[in-house]
Amino acid sequence: MPIASTSSYTKVQYLQRQAASLLLYQSVLQGEVGMAFLELLQAIRYTDADARGCLQAYGSYFHALAAKNQNWEDYLITQLLFSDNPFTKLAQVQEFEDLPPALLAAVRHDLQVLQSLYECSSASLSEWIQGVAHMPISPVVWYKEQELVGGETKFATYLQELDNWGDAVEELAAYYRQCGSGLFAEYRALRWQAGQFIGIRYSDPIKLSALVGYESQKDALLKNTEFLLSGEMALHVLLYGSRGSGKSSLVKSLLNEYSDVSGKGKAQGSLRLLEVAKSDLKDLPKIVEHLRGVSQKFIIFVDDLSFEEDDDAFKALKVVLEGNLTARSQNVVVYATSNRRHLIREFFVDRPTPKDNEEIHAWDTMQEKLSFSDRFGLTLTFEPADQKTYLKIVHHLAAQAEINITQEDLEFQALQWATRHNGRSGRTARQFVDFLKADLTLFHANNKTSNT
């Protein structure tokens, strides 16, 4: 096959050699964009007769960046910061001075390699393509304004100002210690599914400010969450009460209240919400061990909790709530919601009788079932909303939605909605306001169209 011009060949050969020499950060180039970049270098280095392979490789590279909606430079930095490797893991749990010298030397080497790849911009690649393919103009260059967020932006700026990225090892260790690495750095919300952590890209945006009522329960949950974030021993929490009272919304709102890295407090930005389905609770002890030693703080969220008799999930949750020989992890708490005060279903037939000859201590067994909720350190009760509370929630949500109708009309429609639908609750109020806002918006749009 024809070989690229001497100039581009030498530069590409150097970059390929650099990429191949990575010791810890190989994952940076293992995603779709990284692989497309490496394949493009190979296509430039060995250009086929009519350069079709080279042009196709550039198209794949352009497409990969566009799909990620990132520049090459931004992509490289985010992959660096999200990388999961021995250094990123150890940096979260050990002081910088205690990290192995060989590990630090490897990181220093890899940072210098990544700097050389960072400096190979998409514009440079486009010019090389123009040269090896003998095109009158260079291919379109993918470019968009930098959109890194929070700590990523700060660290990217720091790197850009350095002549030698190898000098950033200590700063990088500090970043991992504060922000974590891997999926836990990339996602604020995750779920446990099929034995692994899955990132949730679009988590529920519910804000604490949107929730009205149950102020004492809210204050207690906030205080307990702040214990968790400050490194104190926080309690496991059971949120028990009627359907639609906002128990799940309150837990989910904590993520948006405390996960902003620009917020107050040194632990701000460290909160993660991990959703675990009841069917996966048997994995709970294993999940907690995975999270032990990670720099972030985790709320394990279990929604609509209840158990059947002899349920393995019951036994696994009991181990996490009560502990065993393994020390409890201080960066993990369980927040569970339930519509049942007694989490294990009890039938009249379960109640022991004098003739019960199957178990000598049957009353003890029944009490074990009924008292399971007591194993949560904090139980918050959410009573059904009365009319006054329901209308208060409606007014609050209507004001946030900027609905402009009279108070009398709003309350009349809200009460009618509750009667015809699911009764008075925070969920019903939210459904009513969402419907009313859409209805009024469409009404005004139709009026505007008919008047033109």
Residues 418, 367 within the same domain: no
From 328, 357, 382, the end of a domain falls on 382
**Residue-level pLDDT at 347:** 43
**Residue-level pLDDT at 371:** 55
**Residue-level pLDDT at 145:** 74
Cβ-Cβ contacts under 8 Å for 319 (sequence gap 6 or more): 284, 285
Residues 143, 259 within the same domain: no
| Residue 320 resides in a domain | yes
Task: Domain count for the chain, please give it.
Answer: 3
As a whole number of angstroms, the distance between CA 254 and CA 127 comes to: 49
Q: Domain limits at 437?
A: 387-447
**Residue-level pLDDT at 376:** 85
C-alpha dihedral (48, 49, 51, 53), degrees to nearest 10? -40
Cβ-Cβ contacts under 8 Å for 64 (sequence gap 6 or more): 32, 33, 36
Residues 226, 328 within the same domain: yes
| Residue 241 resides in a domain | yes
Select from 206, 244, 218, 215 the least CA-distant residue to 417: 244
As a whole number of angstroms, the distance between CA 355 and CA 360 comes to: 10
From 360, 382, 404, the end of a domain falls on 382
Residue by residue, pLDDT tens for the chain (452 residues) are 444 556 778 899 999 999 999 999 999 999 999 999 999 999 999 888 889 999 999 999 999 999 999 999 999 999 999 999 999 999 988 999 999 999 999 999 999 999 999 999 999 999 999 998 889 999 999 988 766 555 677 888 888 889 999 999 999 999 998 888 889 988 999 999 999 999 998 898 888 888 888 889 999 999 999 999 998 989 999 998 878 788 999 999 999 888 664 444 445 568 999 999 988 888 988 999 889 878 889 999 999 887 665 567 777 787 777 766 566 888 999 999 988 655 555 444 444 555 444 544 443 443 444 456 677 889 898 888 888 888 999 999 899 888 988 999 998 999 999 889 878 888 898 899 999 999 888 877 777 666 66
| Residue 238 resides in a domain | yes
Residues 144, 263 within the same domain: no
Task: Say if residues 41 and 16 touch (Cβ distance below 8 Å).
Answer: yes
Residues 68, 167 within the same domain: yes
Put the strands of the sheet holding 189-193 in their side by side order.
Answer: 196-200, 189-193, 271-275, 297-302, 332-338, 237-241, 378-382
| Residue 452 resides in a domain | no
Domain harbouring 327, CATH code: 3.40.50.300
From 124, 152, 184, the end of a domain falls on 184
Residues 125, 209 within the same domain: no
| Residue 321 resides in a domain | yes
Cβ atoms within 10 Å, residue 169? 21
Residues 369, 231 within the same domain: yes
| Residue 195 resides in a domain | no
For strands 196-200 and 189-193, give the pairing.
antiparallel
Residues 178, 29 within the same domain: yes
Classify residue 344 by its DSSP letter. Answer: B
Task: Say if residues 376 and 236 touch (Cβ distance below 8 Å).
Answer: yes
Residues 43, 142 within the same domain: yes
Residues 213, 350 within the same domain: yes
**Residue-level pLDDT at 368:** 46
Cβ-Cβ contacts under 8 Å for 396 (sequence gap 6 or more): 210, 212
| Residue 191 resides in a domain | no
Q: What is the DSSP string of 26-90?
A: GGGGSSHHHHHHHHHHHHHHT--TTSHHHHHHHHHHHHHHHHHT--HHHHHHHHHHH--SHHHHH
| Residue 137 resides in a domain | yes
Select from 361, 360, 366, 362 the least CA-distant residue to 344: 366
Residues 339, 311 within the same domain: yes
Cβ atoms within 10 Å, residue 376? 22
As a whole number of angstroms, the distance between CA 389 and CA 425 comes to: 8
Residues 258, 345 within the same domain: yes
